[in-house]
């Protein structure tokens, strides 16, 4: 079966990382010594991550140029470390994502609790370049390292009652100081319909730019669903549960009139407090023109069939 991929988008030069830097991982690491992060991460890579520099390009790499490492790691939504865009980078430095385990529960034949290395080991890691579009109206292009969500879910043999997949973030106020504030209901919970989760596009990401996932970007493992607003791509996952009923997700519980369960990127469905017709590309100056928001973030060829016959205004 042919796999359709997203058409390339026109992206301004100012948001583009120089190609030689991107292709030469070691040189990129040397240029990032000011933060000390990448050198330390490389030295600490577990055995299953040593192959990352040899990642092959996925068919899902669409030709989009990527944002800089600085953009991707210094402008984040991760309320577990603060509500400001720069808070996660400032507050997540001491977070230790090792050891880590993931529980698989619910309507499946092969549940269990797995340490991170064993959880990842069966799957082929690849790089996928996806645009992330956030509900506040900004976007960036990120070179993720990860593996197919669908392949992973099949491993646990969901049964006929599994209509949805629920994901849960770590709850640990001592390690995630933002959870001490009651800005959301903790732990953070997200979910997908099972057919959405089994689509070829979503991945479980364990890295970016060829290296381990930085703390502020959801270390050590997160979901990436490129046709939905960014808050659906839940970070620091510790539990996956197959359910018969639709999960009660964090932002939908917090503000149901503003954040629907589906949360597909859609320019004709505005947030109650702002328009979704345009988006600001991170990496460009604030005064630069905004780009038009694409339905399903430009991935309509792959996912539009999932919502055939649905009222996208009602099922937002």
Residue 1: inside a domain: no
Phi, psi at 140, each rounded to 5°: -155, 165
Local structure of 186: helix, strand or coil: coil
Q: What is the pLDDT of residues 188-224, one digit of tens each?
A: 999 999 999 999 999 999 999 999 999 999 999 999 9
Q: CA of 128: how far to CAs of 8, 57, 58, 260, 297, in Å?
A: 13, 7, 6, 27, 15
Is position 315 within any domain? no
Residue 235 corresponds to which tokens in the numbers above? 């970070």
Cα dihedral across residues 261, 237, 6, 284: positive or negative: positive
Report d(CA 164, CA 169) in Å as an integer: 17
Backbone angles phi, psi at 200, to 5 degrees: -65, -20
What CATH number corresponds to the domain at position 182?
3.90.420.10
Burial class (CB in 10 A: 0-12, 13-18, 19+), 20: exposed
Residue-wise pLDDT tens digits, 307-316: 999 999 999 9
Q: pLDDT band for position 111 (50/70/90)?
A: very high
Query: What three-state secondary structure class fits 34?
Result: coil
Asked, for residue 129, whether it belongs to a domain, the answer is yes
Q: Tell me: the pLDDT tens digits for 35-64?
A: 444 444 444 444 444 445 556 567 777 677
Number of independent structural domains in the chain: 1
Q: Does residue 90 form part of some domain?
A: yes
In the chain, alpha helices (H): 19-23, 25-31, 37-43, 69-74, 87-91, 116-120, 149-155, 194-197, 250-254, 300-303
- Partners of 138 in beta bridges: 280
Domain limits for position 71: 13-307
Burial 210-246 (b: 16+ CB within 10 A, else e): bbbbbbbbbbbbbbbbbbbbbbbbbbbbbbbbbbeee
In a domain, 178, yes or no: yes
- Looking at residue 4, what is its pLDDT? 40
DSSP label at 177?
G
Four-point Cα dihedral 255, 169, 80, 245, nearest 10: 0
pLDDT value at position 33?
A: 35
User: Is residue 312 situated within a structural domain?
Assistant: no
- pTM, two decimal places: 0.84
**Within a domain: residue 62?**
yes
Instruction: List the structure tokens of 29.
Output: 């690491």
């Amino acid at each position: 079966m042919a796999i359709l991929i997203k058409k390339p988008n026109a992206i301004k030069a100012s948001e583009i990382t120089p190609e030689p830097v991107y292709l030469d991982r070691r040189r990129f690491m040397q240029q990032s010594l000011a933060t000390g992060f990448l050198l330390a991460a490389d030295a600490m890579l577990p055995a299953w991550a040593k192959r990352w520099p040899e990642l092959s390009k996925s068919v899902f790499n669409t030709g989009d140029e990527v944002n800089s490492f600085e953009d991707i790691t210094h402008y984040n939504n991760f309320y577990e470390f603060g509500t400001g865009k720069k808070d996660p980078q400032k507050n997540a430095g001491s977070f230790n994502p090792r050891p880590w385990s993931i529980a698989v529960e619910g309507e499946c034949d092969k549940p269990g609790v797995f340490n991170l290395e064993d959880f990842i080991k069966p799957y082929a890691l690849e790089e996928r370049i996806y645009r992330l579009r956030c509900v506040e109206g900004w976007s960036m292009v990120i070179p993720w390292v990860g593996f197919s969500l669908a392949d992973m879910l099949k491993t646990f043999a969901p049964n006929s009652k599994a209509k949805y997949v629920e994901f849960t973030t770590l709850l640990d106020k001592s390690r995630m100081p933002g959870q001490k504030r009651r800005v959301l209901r903790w732990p953070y919970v997200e979910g997908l319909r099972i057919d959405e989760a089994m689509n070829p596009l979503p991945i479980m990401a364990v890295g970016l730019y060829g290296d381990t996932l930085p703390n502020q970007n959801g270390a050590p493992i997160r979901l990436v669903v490129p046709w939905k607003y960014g808050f659906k791509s839940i970070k620091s996952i510790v539990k996956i549960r197959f359910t018969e009923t639709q999960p009660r997700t964090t932002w939908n519980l917090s503000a149901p009139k503003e954040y629907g369960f589906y949360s597909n990127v859609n320019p004709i469905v505005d947030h109650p407090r702002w328009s979704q017709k345009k988006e600001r590309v991170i990496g460009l100056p604030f005064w630069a023109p905004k780009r038009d928001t694409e339905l399903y973030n430009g991935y309509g060829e792959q996912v539009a069939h999932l919502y055939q016959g649905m009222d996208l205004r009602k099922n937002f």
